[in-house]
Every structure is written in C-alpha cells, then in structure tokens.
C-alpha cells in the first residue's frame, strides 16, 4: 500500500481527561485552594498578637505593682498601709488594647489602677500572704499553705489588726481583673467573639545590712509576760517615735544563763574559735546579714570578744597590738578610766602603763574621772537594764570632764550644757528641754575641740596607748548590730542557731568599754539609728532593701 494513502488516526480522548492532565496555570489553582487558610491564619495572627500584647502589658503592670508593694513589707506596723499606697501610686502603667477592643478596630491604651478605698473601681485585687506554696504548680486556695501563726491554710496573712498583719506579711499578690478582648476576625464555627486576658504576680521583700558586727542584742520591747516596756510596737517603730533617744542600755552575757531582753550574744563569723570572733569585733570589716535570718553561735570563751571591742577605746590586751592600724582607737575614747595614782605628784597620771583592761573609777573616786553615767532611772529587763528616759546626769559629767573640779561638784559652779551650752540633737522633733544624748555630747566634744580636756585624774578623750604610727579613726565607737526577739526564739538560741529572724538592724554607740568579770560580760550602748523606713538615714549606705518576684 502506498504510504500516502495510509489512514489518518483521529484522537478521540475525552476533553475533561485532557483538562485533568493539563499542568498549565496550576499555581493559580493552588492559590485559590489555599486562600481561605491563608486569610484565616492572617486573622489569627492579628488577633493573637493583640491578645499577646495585652497579656504582656498586663503582666508588666501587675509585676510593677507587686514589686512596689513588696518593697514596703518591712514588718513595721504600717507596712500593709504603705504597700497599698505604693501600689495605688503605680497607676501610670498603660496597656494596649485594654479598652476591650471593638468589632472593627484594634483597640487603644488604658491605664491600670488600684483604688484602696473602692475595690470595685480597681483594675487589680491585692492580697497579703504569710507564705506561698512550695511548688509554683500549686494554685492558691484552701490547703495551699500550712496554717501557722503567720498565715492561714490559703496562705493569707493572719492578724487581728493592721499592725499584726503587717508584721506577718511576707508576700504581696497582685491579680489583674480579667479583660475581655473583642476579636476582629472570627471563622464561622471556631473561636469566640472575645478572649479573656489576665495576669498575676507575687513578690516578696528582702533586706541586707553590711558591715554588721557579729553581735546581736535582745529586743528590750519584746512582748513577754512582765515586760513593762512592752507597748505593742516594734523596735524600729519605738526608735522612729523617739522612744530610744538618749536611753542607755546595759546588756549582759552570762548573767542569768538565759537569753532574753537585757542579754546579748554573738553571730557566726568566718573562722573558728573566740579569736576569730574577737578579730571581727575589733575591726570595722563586719559581715553582710539578711533580715530573713542570721546564724548565731554560743560564745564559750568570750574573753577575746570583749578585748576586741575595747580596742575601739584604746585598750589593748591579748593578741591585739596597739601598733596595728586595724585596731585604731576612736578619736574620742573618754571612758572614766582609772589612770593610776602618782604619790610623788599627788595626783593621777595619764596612762601610767594602764593601757590593758578597762578599769573604771570606783564609786569612792567617782569624781576623779567619769564615764557617761546611766540614766536617772532604769528598768530591769531581765538580763540587764535600760534607762527609763533620756534624762541622765549630764551636769556632773560636764563639770568633772570640762568644768571646775570640786569634790563633790557644787551645782552653783556647774558649767553644764543644759545651763550654758546648746548641744545639737541628732534626733529631730524632740520636745524642748530634752537632755542631749550621750552620743550627741560625744560629738559636741569632737566638733568643739574639747576631747583634750582633762578630768581630775588626768584622763582625756585622747587615747594614749596606741603606737604613734597608728591614727585614731572616727566612728569607731559606732557598730551595726542585729536585734532579735530572743524570747520568741529562745529554743533556737540555746546553741548555734540557724536562720534566726531579726527584728531590726540598728546602729549603736558604745557609751562605755565592755566590762569583764569571770564569765560575765557587760556592754553599754545607745541606739542612734535603725535601718529602714523608721531610721534617720545614716544607715542607708550599709542597708540594702530589695523586692523580688517569686511568681
């Protein structure tokens, strides 16, 4: 057959089959298929971003409020009131989309506020806790915390008054009232028209004081049976109200074999033995201590401890060398020390080799030299005494130290400060006629070049027993100490205590050298400042308060 006459084959394939195999324009087809998903995801991203931004802003706001409130939880009687005021003052925190949004808009910024007087107008609720659950996974509620003297089973702080609750408040919880954010997009059958957004934060207070001498004193105002000083106020509040101004406290170690008001004890130091304790008390390189708890230690051999303290007055015994600048005396060491009697001169002589243990002039030679006297009246507080008021015999002290040396002094010849000298007082707002504190008299002597005035036995305020290479230093008679409620924690203080809560940290002025007799030790001091909101601010350089988020 001729090729030219071969039959033509006709393609009879179904056109729909051809269309199914055709690959031209597939991108458009896929786009059309995926478009609903893309639009849906875009809508989700827009609304999801609004929700995430709102939650972040609310969280930041409640975090800031909780931190502001926790910063005030220092255990003082008005801590909760101050915390509420601090939270209310944080009303400038703005949150995006906080106006709930609208059906066809993105929403705008609003401020998060807290009104203590009207909780219904607040954007947050505030509660104060005595404890928090051990695990962050445990929600607050009944049974979340073990009920104790400080908190209930739902962790809320206990107390019949604001002062009691303030003393027990360890945490503040700020919880935002949930906000319903209206979504812009809504896929039929999925999601909601609104999304509820909220947040909460829990914060606590911590405080640290550095350069703390390893000494604690028992709170003389602690609430216990028979304490006539107890007025229901904290140690710091008593100071803030002026109740400690000019009141000398005499504290003992080893007098009654107990630990309670009127006693003092020691804190743990780096190193072993009494020598390490004495070294720490002789120098100004104290440790840093947390308000939440200090470690105490028994002082079986307290000799080096008092020896270390007394280097501050220029007395050198034991291992403490008078040629070591670390043991420099204070620039005003007047202490009523017996200087020794010189028969040939018919008088007491300065120093005369008596640079060792402190030897106060006895009662019969009271007018030879005089340390700062006790108060006109005093209360027995168990282990020691505290002056009943700021009144003390400043006239006799001034006459013997700076005036006419009569035996005994005659009031008609006094040149006493209350009569002729105006001594500035370190505590503001005191009533007229208040006797200056011993600390203020000590500073007045320094500021007016009276440290070199000699008492009848020749004693001056200038230390005679340190080496010439050693320079006396200011403020050596000032020490930072911890204050503990010893009756409350008496069982923990029987041996080496761990994490004993402190009532306060205080700045003390040593009015006299430490007295040692056998195992008995006595130190005398005035409290001249406290760390924290009730203080005068002189302790702020050593005091650090912090608030931290714990949830």
Q: Which two tokens stand for residue 198?
A: 């909220």
Position 86 pLDDT exceeds 70? yes
pLDDT-wise least confident of 37-46, 53-62, 385-394, 537-546: 37-46
Among 198, 223, 251, identify where a domain stops: 198
269, HSE (Cβ side, Cα atoms, 13 Å):
26
Among 167, 198, 229, identify where a domain stops: 198
Q: Are residues 423 and 305 in the same domain?
A: yes
DSSP letters along 28-60, please?
HHHHHHHHHHHHHHHHHHHHHHHHHHHHHHHHH
Q: Are residues 474 and 504 in the same domain?
A: yes
Q: Is residue 142 part of a domain?
A: yes
pLDDT-wise least confident of 66-80, 152-166, 363-377: 363-377
Give pLDDT, residue 102.
47
Q: Which domain holds residue 146?
A: 38-198
Q: Is residue 9 part of a domain?
A: no
Residue 318: CB atoms within 10 A of its CB come to 18
Position 515 pLDDT exceeds 60? yes
Bridge partners, 209 (sequence order): 289, 543
pLDDT, average across residues 495-523: 85
Q: Are residues 145 and 256 in the same domain?
A: no
pLDDT, average across residues 9-33: 63
pLDDT band at 532 (very low <50, low <70, confident <90, very high): confident
Position 529 pLDDT exceeds 90? yes
Q: Are residues 181 and 257 in the same domain?
A: no
Per-residue pLDDT of 450-470, as tens digits, reads: 999 888 888 889 988 888 889
Q: Are residues 177 and 220 in the same domain?
A: no
Coil vs helix vs strand at 421: coil
Q: Are residues 97 and 136 in the same domain?
A: yes
Q: Are residues 156 and 222 in the same domain?
A: no
pLDDT, average across residues 139-168: 86
Q: Is residue 21 part of a domain?
A: no
Residue 224: CB atoms within 10 A of its CB come to 15
In which residue are the tokens 């005369």 written? 352
Q: Is residue 145 part of a domain?
A: yes
pLDDT, average across residues 457-484: 89
Q: Is residue 494 part of a domain?
A: yes
Q: Is residue 394 part of a domain?
A: yes
Per-residue pLDDT of 361-375, as tens digits, reads: 765 566 788 899 988
Position 345 pLDDT exceeds 50? no
pLDDT band at 279 (very low <50, low <70, confident <90, very high): confident
Task: Choose between 137 and 182: higher pLDDT.
Answer: 137
pLDDT, average across residues 101-118: 65
User: In the predicted model, what is the mean pLDDT of the chain?
Assistant: 79
> How many domains is the chain partitioned into structurally?
2
Position 414 pLDDT exceeds 50? no
Given a contact cutoff of 8 angstroms between Cβ atoms, the answer to whether 334 and 460 are in contact is yes
Among 179, 198, 217, identify where a domain stops: 198
The Cα-based distances of 209 to 190, 391, 434 in angstroms read 57, 31, 31
Q: Are residues 190 and 288 in the same domain?
A: no
Q: Are residues 289 and 361 in the same domain?
A: yes
pLDDT, average across residues 146-153: 85
Q: 249-253 and 520-530: which strand pairing?
A: antiparallel
pLDDT-wise least confident of 273-277, 354-358, 470-474: 354-358
Given a contact cutoff of 8 angstroms between Cβ atoms, the answer to whether 476 and 284 are in contact is yes
Given a contact cutoff of 8 angstroms between Cβ atoms, the answer to whether 530 and 504 are in contact is yes
Give pLDDT, residue 228.
63
Q: Are residues 354 and 485 in the same domain?
A: yes
Highest mean pLDDT among 14-28, 189-203, 232-246, 288-302: 232-246
Q: Is residue 458 part of a domain?
A: yes
- What is the percent of the chain where pLDDT is above 90? 22
Q: Is residue 67 part of a domain?
A: yes
Q: Are residues 232 and 148 in the same domain?
A: no
Given a contact cutoff of 8 angstroms between Cβ atoms, the answer to whether 217 and 524 are in contact is no
Q: Are residues 342 and 260 in the same domain?
A: yes
Give the Cα-Cα-Cα angle 511, 516, 521 (nearest 5 degrees).
75
Give pLDDT, residue 76.
81
Those residues with Cβ within 8 angstroms of residue 182's Cβ, 6 or more apart along the chain or in another chain? 100, 101, 102, 103, 107, 193, 194
């Amino acid at each position: 057959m001729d090729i030219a006459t071969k039959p033509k084959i006709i393609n009879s394939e179904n056109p729909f089959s051809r269309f199914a195999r055709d690959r031209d324009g597939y991108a458009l087809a896929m786009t059309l298929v995926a478009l609903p998903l893309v639009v849906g995801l875009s809508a989700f991203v827009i609304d999801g971003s609004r929700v995430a931004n709102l939650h972040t802003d609310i969280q930041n706001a409640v975090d800031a409020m909780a931190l502001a409130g926790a910063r005030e939880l220092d255990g003082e009687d008005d801590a909760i009131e101050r915390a509420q005021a601090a939270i209310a003052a944080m009303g400038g925190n703005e949150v995006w989309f906080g106006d709930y949004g609208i059906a066809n808009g993105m929403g705008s910024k609003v401020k998060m506020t807290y009104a203590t007087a009207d909780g219904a107008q607040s954007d947050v609720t505030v509660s104060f806790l005595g404890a928090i659950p051990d695990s962050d996974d445990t929600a607050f509620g009944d049974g979340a915390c073990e009920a104790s003297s400080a908190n209930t089973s739902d962790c809320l702080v206990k107390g019949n008054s604001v002062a009691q609750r303030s003393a027990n408040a360890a945490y503040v919880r700020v919880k935002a009232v949930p906000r319903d954010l209206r979504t812009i997009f809504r896929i039929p059958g999925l999601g909601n028209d609104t999304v509820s957004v909220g947040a909460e934060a829990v914060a606590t207070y911590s405080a640290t004081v550095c350069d703390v001498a390893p000494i604690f004193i028992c709170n003389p105002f602690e609430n216990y049976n028979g304490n006539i000083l107890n007025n229901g106020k904290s140690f710091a509040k008593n100071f803030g109200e002026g109740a400690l101004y000019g009141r000398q406290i005499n504290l003992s170690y080893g007098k009654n074999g107990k630990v309670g008001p009127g006693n003092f004890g020691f804190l743990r130091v780096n190193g072993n033995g009494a020598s390490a304790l004495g070294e720490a008390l002789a120098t100004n390189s104290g440790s840093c201590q947390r308000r939440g708890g200090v470690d105490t230690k028994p002082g079986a051999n307290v000799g080096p401890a008092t020896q270390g303290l007394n280097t501050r007055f220029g007395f050198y015994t034991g291992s403490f060398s008078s040629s070591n600048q670390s043991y420099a005396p204070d620039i005003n060491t007047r202490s009523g020390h017996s200087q020794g009697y010189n028969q040939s001169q018919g008088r007491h002589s300065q120093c005369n080799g008596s640079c060792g243990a402190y030897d106060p002039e006895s009662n019969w030679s009271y007018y030879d030299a005089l340390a700062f006297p006790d108060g006109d009246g005093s209360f027995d507080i168990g282990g020691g005494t505290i002056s009943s008021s700021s009144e003390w015999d400043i006239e006799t002290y001034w006459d013997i130290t700076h005036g006419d040396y009569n035996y005994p002094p005659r009031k008609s010849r006094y040149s006493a400060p209350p009569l002729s000298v105006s001594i500035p007082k370190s505590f503001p707002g005191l009533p007229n006629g208040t006797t200056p504190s011993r600390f203020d008299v000590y500073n007045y002597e320094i500021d007016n070049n009276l440290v070199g005035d000699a008492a009848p036995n020749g004693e001056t305020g200038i230390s005679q027993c340190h080496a010439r290479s050693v320079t006396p230093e200011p403020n050596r008679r000032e020490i930072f100490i911890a204050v503990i409620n010893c009756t409350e924690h008496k069982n923990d203080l029987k041996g080496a205590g761990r994490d004993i809560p402190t009532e306060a940290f205080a700045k003390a002025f040593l009015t006299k050298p430490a007295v040692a007799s056998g195992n008995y030790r006595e130190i005398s001091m005035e409290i001249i400042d406290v760390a924290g909101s009730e203080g005068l601010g002189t302790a702020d350089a050593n005091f650090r308060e912090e608030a931290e988020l714990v949830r």
